[in-house]
Amino acid sequence: MLLVSYLRYWDQTLDLPNLRGASIFNPRTGFGGNGAGPDLCVADGPFANLRLRFTEDLDAPQSGSYCLSRNISECLFANTATANVDACQNAGSFEEAWNCLEAKPHIAGHWGIGGTVSRLLPSTPIPPLPSQRYVLMLCYAMSQMSNPHTSPGDPLFFLHHTWLDLQWHTWQLQDLPTRLSQIGGPNIPSTDGPPRGGSAPSSDGPPAPSPDGACLPPLGGPGGAALSHGAGTVLSTAAGLMEFFNDEGGPDMTLGHRLWSAGILPNATVGDVMDLGGALVCAEYV
């Protein structure tokens, strides 16, 4: 039996420079608008009363619910510009394309909807090349989409990532079948914190909407370096972890890397999903 279904994607380049006025935030025909109040809860649209319960620690006891929050920043969204996307498409290797997409349109989509941290004073030193852990520390003080662990709580997450998948697939199509087997980079996050001289934002008090223009230095653009996933010490290289993920005892991503689906679907490997039109995914962009 062939199941035919459709997933929408959001071409974010079309909503620059007027992100706040984008139809996707329309309260009647879209996904609702920006957050309001001390907790930046989405105040209108179909998800105005949405309550979420999952946290960063899936093993922690549930402690009540919280609202879906947003903190839109057109400044932080700017890295999703067409010129940046085109630069990623011109990358010659998977790791170059991955770092480009991660540092520019991927982060821009999350931070542009989630916003920045108003408590981060202009004098606070921000490294031009933030480590993954440092980015996480910033994210925890932001809204839903800016937190990498809880961002799927915002329905816009899925439209953002189906568009990112389109960018990756478009890059693959430039050199088939070679790029259907190109993979690389570390498979687990690093543990390095802010570089010396950097500091984490305060965690006191609720976040406030970020003023346009008050955003972090651009990653991978003028004045900023490309986000590197290779720096720092990997979280763990324990044999049990590597055995579970089937990465042949090392911290580098391979086609055999096991993708955990939490029992929702049978686990697959990276190699199983590399081809969008393959037997497992069996999809096409229209």
Helix crossing, 82-89 with 94-101: angle to 10°? 160
Predicted pLDDT at 247:
58
Predicted pLDDT at 188:
67
Range in 13-22, 28-37, 136-145, 193-202 with the lowest mean pLDDT: 193-202
User: What does the block give as tokens for 185?
Assistant: 């980079």
Q: Tell me the mean pLDDT in the region 117-130.
A: 39
The span from the CA of 158 to the CA of 113, in Å, is: 13
Q: Which of 87-91, 112-116, 190-194 has the highest mean pLDDT?
A: 87-91
Interval 4-22: pLDDT, tens: 788 899 999 999 889 999 9
- CA–chain centroid gap for 242, Å, is 24
Range in 113-127, 209-223, 240-254 with the lowest mean pLDDT: 209-223
Cα Rg of the chain, angstroms: 19
Q: With cut-offs at 50, 70 and 90, classify the pLDDT of residue 286.
A: confident
Alpha-carbon separation of residue 142 from 2, 5, 149, 177 (angstroms): 41, 33, 12, 41
Q: With cut-offs at 50, 70 and 90, classify the pLDDT of residue 186.
A: confident
Classify the phi-psi angles of 225: left when phi > 0, otherwise alpha if psi is within -120 to 50, otherwise beta.
Answer: beta
- Who wins on pLDDT, 72 or 209? 72
Predicted pLDDT at 57:
64
- Sketch the domain layout of the chain as residue ranges: 71-235
Q: Tell me the mean pLDDT in the region 66-81.
A: 90
Q: With cut-offs at 50, 70 and 90, classify the pLDDT of residue 245.
A: low
Residue 218 and residue 79 in contact, taking contact as beta carbons nearer than 8 Å: yes
Residue 16 and residue 77 in contact, taking contact as beta carbons nearer than 8 Å: yes
Q: 28-51: string of b/e by CB count within 10 Å (b at 16+)?
A: eeebbbbbeeeebbbbebebeebe
Predicted pLDDT at 258:
84
Interval 26-56: pLDDT, tens: 999 999 999 998 888 999 999 998 998 877 6
The span from the CA of 194 to the CA of 218, in Å, is: 17
The span from the CA of 171 to the CA of 180, in Å, is: 10
Residue 205 has pLDDT above 80, yes or no: no
Predicted pLDDT at 125:
43
Which run of H or E residues covers position 159?
Answer: helix 156-173
Q: Please list the residues that pair with 41 across neighbouring strands.
A: 36, 69
Q: Percent of the chain, pLDDT > 70?
A: 64
The chain-wide mean pLDDT, for the chain, equals: 74
- Who wins on pLDDT, 180 or 226? 180
